[in-house]
Amino acid sequence: MASGHSRSTSRQDDDPVTAKPSWHGSTQSTRKVNTILSAMKSNHFEISREDTSVMLACLTDYWLPITSRSTMPPALGPSLDYKFIEQQSSVLNSAFEFDGQHYNLDKNASLPEGKKLPRTIEYKKTLGQGHFGYVAQVSDKNGRTYALKVIPRKTQHADAREQMRMVKQEIEVLRKVDHVHCIKFVGSYTDAKSIGIIVNPAADCNLAKFLSHFDHKNEDQYMVLASFFGSLASALEYLHYDLRIRHKDIKPQNILVKGENVMLADFGISLDWSENTHSTTKQEVSRSPVYCSPEAARDEPRNSRSDIWSLGCVFLEMTAVIHAQPFKYVQNILESHGSRNFRDCPDGIEEVIASLRKIDPEDRHLPLDWVEQMLKMKKTDRWTSAVLRDEIHKSRGQSDLSFCGTCCEEHKPRSPTSSPVVAPTMTGDEIGADTSDDLNKAEKSLEKAELHSATKNGWQTVTLIRREDSPSNWIPANLVDSCKLEVWPNKEQSHLALEGQHFTSSEYVKLTFTVGGGQVLKCDFWVAPVTAPLNSLIWNTSAP
């Protein structure tokens, strides 16, 4: 029987500053930084292990080039700063290539005037701009067009560290994305003044503009818009189940239209880098207050169903246009109820749905059925993205419009009995038998553990029950909520039999917790219902 896999280390090793990595222990994201440090040592520049640890903890290759001491870690001395800045020229690139890699550009790689872009990138026009920088349409030497996001670099170390953390996260996620209804990563670069991220394609417009300029006299446009429902559901299911990430910022402005194709963009990590906040909730709410979920606004734990809420808001606006109403139709009704924010206007949402149901033809009301399941105030009542896509797929032939994109035509529903994509280490086995003997075993194995949570304190003391006979790990939902842990959906279910009661779960969390001696373990835990008689973690100690 499979279970969540654990990985043992020490808590100190979790902190890269105190982990004291080997001089030659290069990782992919610090390969060039290590090369610079090795070159400095070869040139008889003395660097302590402590300074090496600080450098590798604070800097990644995405930082290069560094041109100012203020950007370097403040714990280092000026001589080390200057020597590092001087030595980095040996690892910089002289030109950017459109090959999916990240380039660290030297001063000769970019044009000295105009937009000061890399010489291999031809600027066409600005597509949008804001506090973060700007997005431009650009082309390569063969005339292929792309979208380039340019972000001015922060110069103070604390600001730069947060910015580069987000840059690294965004680029590494974009590299994994491979779906017809998601933008594709082309390449990225860092130069002395800015960070550039290039994606394909350069869209014709975003969904907000598409809906605002919708031609209600053109029946072909109705067909295109209808196909967007299935396409967006397919893209979101891909993010949730295949990549195991939340989008976090679904809104019409982050949905791009190119010809008859629709694509998700900015997967919730492309923050407004002019604002340095460490609160994920504040970031989500401040970016898109109109579309953010009720739980995000209340600073409660979010999961993939928070994306479902946001997409449900977008679907309602799309449905209004399908019913020959203007794009602002939904917003106008919500504002008549006192707010533009969907989460604040449940009565407004009901009025919109009721009014659209009165408009013929009735076979175009199908999206309203989906929206009602997506805009449940309680997140656990909402559909998952897999259920949403299945329901849209089932709608084929029920309307004069096809709500499935080309990807939906080949769609095969995820079977609850098949191996889950999200958490392949989890099984649907029951945890022990309903006997007092099992409970006695559990009581004898009680001990204290520390669970790493998303709260300010970071670690929370909990009771740990070691169960060698348990085929899977469990955590009660109330503990998940109090620690504000990220919850993920799973297509396969697991069952818990304990104290005469049976519980079923199709959600899990990824935990980091410590046991005796400071040993740190990382593994997946099924989420038991809040009513389960558990105040502790149940851990399968036989997991590797």
Cα Dmax for the chain: 81
Which residue type, as a one-letter code, is found at position 220?
D
Please name the residues in contact with 394: beta carbons below 8 A apart, sequence gap of 6 or more: none
The three-state secondary structure class of 309 is helix
Kindly report the backbone phi and psi dihedral angles of residue 242, in degrees, each rounded to the nearest multiple of 5, phi listed first.
-95, -40
Query: Residue 193, annotated ligand binder?
Result: no
How far apart are alpha carbons 197 and 153 in whole angstroms? 13
Which residue type, as a one-letter code, is found at position 131?
H
Residue among 293, 208, 281 at smallest CA distance from 251: 208
Residue 130, judged by CB atoms within 10 A of its CB (0-12, 13-18, 19+), counts as exposed
The residues facing 194 across adjacent strands are 152
Residue 263: its H or E element:
strand 261-264
How far apart are alpha carbons 163 and 398 in whole angstroms? 48
Give the strand pairing for 459-466 and 446-452. Answer: antiparallel
Give the position of tokens 């006997």.
435
* Token pair recorded at residue 523: 């593994």
Quote the DSSP letter at residue 298.
T
Give the strand pairing for 536-539 and 459-466. Answer: parallel
Quote the DSSP letter at residue 525.
E
Q: Which residues are annotated as a binding site for ATP?
A: 154
Q: Which residues are annotated as a binding site?
A: 154
